[in-house]
Amino acid sequence: MTLPYFDNADADGNQLPIAMAHRGFSRDGLENSMAAFRAAAAMGYRYLETDVHTTSDGVLLLFHDSTLDRVTDGGGKVSELPAAAVGKVRIGGREPIPTFDELVTALPGARLNLDVKDWNSVRSTAAAIERHQAHDRVLVTSFSDLRRRAVLKLLSRPVAASAGVASITAFTLLGPVLPGPLFRRLMRRVLGGVQALQVPARRAGIEVVTPGFLRRAHRLGLMVHVWTINDPAEMQRLLDLGVDGLVTDRADLLRDILAQRGGWPAGPPA
């Protein structure tokens, strides 16, 4: 299934690699802040990668960790705190933690890659997508296949989705050993409702993104997005290999590389 989320063409209609700004763009450690998201959007990024957690009173936040301790001047578990309390803390002592509602409204041209971090956020994520009718603007992913599927079941129409760890592990390990027809038949069942594989280039000494991996994914109509790539030489290598997208902390470097290759979009998606 081709979904509007993946439409990323140039003026001539050629599909471009998808560039995702990982938690926005901030060289000052202000990850997942509106300042970081606005900075990426100002550079021309159409796609923003982010994470969701939910407060004790049901407010969906864009925040990576389960606790506030690492990146804010506050502390405590997000799921155990009301939104009013979380609203008083600051990322890096400077920026408030944004809500999903805030980002989707403030940057209406942005497409969001949403990593659902906990079960507490399943219903709130689905409700937020429905509330804003943002189905064409989001990709839902999670390390947990069960959690991702739970979100999708609550939605009134399809959204883009990426596979979880178990599915991707099966795809990676079984691809080189099973006969092609059997592998594809099995993966169509395992990866039902999935349009993308979002993977590291390598894991635990195993080269994940290989020509064979890409060939098998593309034969099943799956896009391959690789995270989190911050080295220019690695960006070039993966783009030469034929990946469909890159997730990066160095949005500035990836933009320059794609522009040099003729793969940077001229403006926000329609």
Residue positions annotated with a catalytic role? 22, 64
Does residue 254 contact residue 248 with C-beta atoms inside 8 Å?
Answer: yes
DSSP 3-state assignment of 236? helix
Q: What is the dihedral of CA 189, 194, 198, 201, to 10 degrees?
A: 30
The two tokens of residue 135 are 């189905």
How far is the C-alpha of 29 from the C-alpha of 235, rounded, in Å? 22
Write the DSSP assignment of 138-183 as a string of letters.
Answer: EEEE-S-HHHHHHHHHT-SS--EEB--HHHHHHHHHHTTTS-HHHH
How far is the C-alpha of 8 from the C-alpha of 46, rounded, in Å? 9
The two tokens of residue 233 are 């030489």
How far is the C-alpha of 175 from the C-alpha of 185, rounded, in Å? 12
The two tokens of residue 215 are 């060939």
Does residue 124 contact residue 99 with C-beta atoms inside 8 Å?
Answer: no
| Maximum distance among all Cα pairs of the chain, rounded to whole angstroms | 56
Write the DSSP assignment of 41-67 as a string of letters.
Answer: HHTT--EEEEEEEE-TT--EEE-SSSB
- For residue 225, what are the β-bridge partners? 198, 245
